[in-house]
Structure 1
Amino acid sequence: MRMLHIGLRVTDLERSLAFYTALGYTKLGSVPETGFGSLTMLKLPDDPFVSLELVHDPERPVENISAVNHLVVQVDDLDATIADLAVKGVAAEPPADPGPGIRTSWLTDPDGYRIELVQWPSGHPAGMTEADFG
């Protein structure tokens, strides 16, 4: 069993798609009419599968984002990512060092969802493991 992706409701699909593609996601496909609205499937360059689904229904704009605390995206080089985002008009907060060798930065998408960018120290696994809490 594994987590596949998260679906985020968005108010303006084109604005959100521009934001997430600036972050590095690519659009794999879409499903135009569902009971939720239109679904746009996105993946990051190094991921083999969809990891984010943008759910858009013009009749149901985003009014409350409190159910989602934040999304986390791993980056190889935080400084280069922040510089690239700035060129694309996406502002990121200054980097912080919350733990040994870990670097993070935060940004906010057009609907107010918070996104944490994480750069792991050299040799760290590609995600959090039990060792991170021991």
Structure 2
Amino acid sequence: MELTQVRLLVTDFPAVYRFYRDVLGLKPQFEAEHGPYAKLSPDSGNAAVALQDRAQLAHVLAELGAEPTGYRALLVLRVDDLDAVYAELVSRGAEFSGPPAPMGDRIRVAYLTDPEGNLVELQEWLALRG
């Protein structure tokens, strides 16, 4: 078994697509600003975030509601320099819930949400698990 992506179900596809492409700087596998599907990746690694138009999937999965409530996903992106990435994303219009802060003694984190309310955690590793 191989994990290929984390897929977010979204209602405002263009806004969420632009957030991950323009604000977070993920690279689209192909241009698809209006959906119904897109896959975006960071510069390194094999991981990817995929976006799926919620209404399109609702035609396949009848139990999928039109509007979810609360956080539906937490996307974690590791960065080398959290302070630099935080400043860069703020300059692109990102609004964080607060400045970078430690989470225990091994990582620092900062949180923001995408236009659909999915929670995004940026994390900088301070120490590897030993």
Please report the TM-score for the alignment, with normalisation by the length of structure 1.
0.75
Question: Residue 46 and residue 64 in structure 1: after superposition, are their counterparts in 2 closer, same or farther (change >3 A)?
Answer: same
Aligned-pair CA distance for 1:2: 3.1
CA contact (8 A) 2:71 2:119 kept: no
Partner of 2:42: 44
Partner of 1:89: 93
SS at match of 1:90: coil
Partner of 1:108: 113
Give % identity.
32
CA contact (8 A) 1:71 1:116 kept: yes
- Give aligned pairs, total: 119
Q: Which stretches of structure 1, 4 residues or more, deviate above 4 A after TM superposition? A: 57-62
Question: Residue 101 and residue 67 in structure 1: after superposition, are their counterparts in 2 closer, same or farther (change >3 A)?
Answer: closer
Superposition map of 1:95-134 within 5 A: 95-121=100-126, 124=128, 131=129
Aligned-pair CA distance for 1:69: 4.0
SS at match of 1:17: helix
SS at match of 2:28: strand
Structure 1, unmatched stretches of 5+, are: 32-36, 125-130
Question: Residue 65 and residue 41 in structure 1: after superposition, are their counterparts in 2 closer, same or farther (change >3 A)?
Answer: farther
Task: For 2:116, give the aligned amino acid.
Answer: D
Structure 2, unmatched stretches of 5+, are: 59-64
Please report the TM-score for the alignment, with normalisation by the length of structure 2.
0.77
SS at match of 2:30: strand
- Calculate the aligned-residue CA RMSD, in Å: 2.6
Aligned-pair CA distance for 1:68: 3.0
